[in-house]
Structure 1
Amino acid sequence: MPTSPSEEILDIVDEHDRVVGQAPRGEAYARGLRHRCAFILARNPAGEVFVHRRTTTKLVFPGLYDMFVGGVVGAGESYDEAALREAEEELGVSGLPQPTPLFKFLYDGGERGTWWSYVYEVTFDLPVKPQAEEIDWHAFLTPQELERRIGAWEWTPDGLAAYHRWKAHR
């Protein structure tokens, strides 16, 4: 069992999302190895989007805002399994409905590497208690409020890329 997030083992994948090896998360990030991530747009029944600011201790994009919960897909884990696990962990809920898969794209993070990004959405009516080690601020924003903050706040670049693709997908 990993003692820190950087020790979590990830599947390393090729440009076609086929597994070609495994590496600890810290090594995958440091070497820019292509891996897999799940992005979940979480909404309440009113249609408001869960938005949060990442803690400054996060390995990737510390202190930035994100409109998706989610994270890396562990070695041997499916995107669907990771989507539900990550959403429940970050939102601090259990009994979440299985997020609905929408589309997948290869995010190019430049020097940070590339990762296959599977975008999901889920609507739920449960009280949230986000992980303090992952999230230091959160709120549910209307779609209009979210749009107003896109240009004003500093967002995770992969989340912003996924959000623009999600809007085009709808």
Structure 2
Amino acid sequence: MSASDEILDVVDESDRVVGRAPRGEVYARGLRHRCVFVLARDADDRIFVHRRTATKLVFPALYDMFVGGVVGAGESYDDAALREAEEELGVSGLPRPEPLFRFLYDGGDKSWWSAVYKVRCDLPVRPQVEEVAWHAFLPEDEVERRLSSWEWVPDGLAAYERLRSEPGRFADPRR
């Protein structure tokens, strides 16, 4: 099954399921759905940053400070966060990501409910080559410096700004 054939829950402005459709149709029609964002830090408290491949259906070739993706039909946000983090980082045995908050991302023709998490990844990463064109664990101050010079995914940037604006939410997941 291709990514565009994956079945997603379609949700309303209150995050209630109102239907189901294949991902390709959800994207083509701009239907609201669910996504997860996981901020992964390593043992040195650096943030996993990557550049998406040029073949991604949404925001190709842009940088992101989160791993994550869509929530499948009938899947919980928590299960999707763990699945997506392990898939994109290329690891197994991650601790369950800690939920932080949810928000409705509205980028005009793109809208989805977004659940934001954090996790510590002490494992050696082997990101999926289909998903990740480049990656590194960067110190937080380096991520901050790159915010104005790299082209970031807009939904991830919106989540990152929310994290930075709320005291305690951005802290190292070990604490």
Partner Cα distance (2:125, 2:106) in 1: 31
Which of 116, 119, 123 is the equivalent residue of 1:126?
123
Render the CA deviation track for 1:50-92: whole Å, top value 9, x for unaligned. Answer: 0000000000000000000000000000000000000000000
TM-score by length of 1: 0.97
Q: CA RMSD in A?
A: 0.6
Structure 2 counterpart of 1:165, one-letter code: R
Of the three residues 48, 51, 54, the one matched with 2:49 is: 51
TM-score w.r.t. length of structure 2: 0.94
Q: List structure 1 runs of 4+ shifted beyond 6 angstroms.
A: none
SS at match of 2:117: strand
> What secondary structure sits across from 2:21 in the alignment?
strand
Deviation of residue 150 (structure 1)? 0.4
Question: 2:107 maps to which residue?
Answer: 109
Taking every aligned residue pair, what percent have the same amino acid on both sides? Answer: 73
Does residue 85 (structure 1) correspond to residue 83 (structure 2)? The answer is yes
Equivalences for 1:57-96 in 2 at 5 Å?
Answer: 57-96=55-94
User: What are structure 2's unaligned runs of at least 5 residues?
Assistant: 170-175
Q: Which amino acid aligns with 1:131?
A: Q
Which 5+ residue runs of structure 1 have no aligned equivalent? none
Match for 1:145 among 119, 142, 147? Answer: 142
Q: Give the secondary-structure state (helix, strand or coil) at the position aligned to 2:103.
A: strand
Quick one: distance in 1 between partners of 2:107 and 2:30? 9
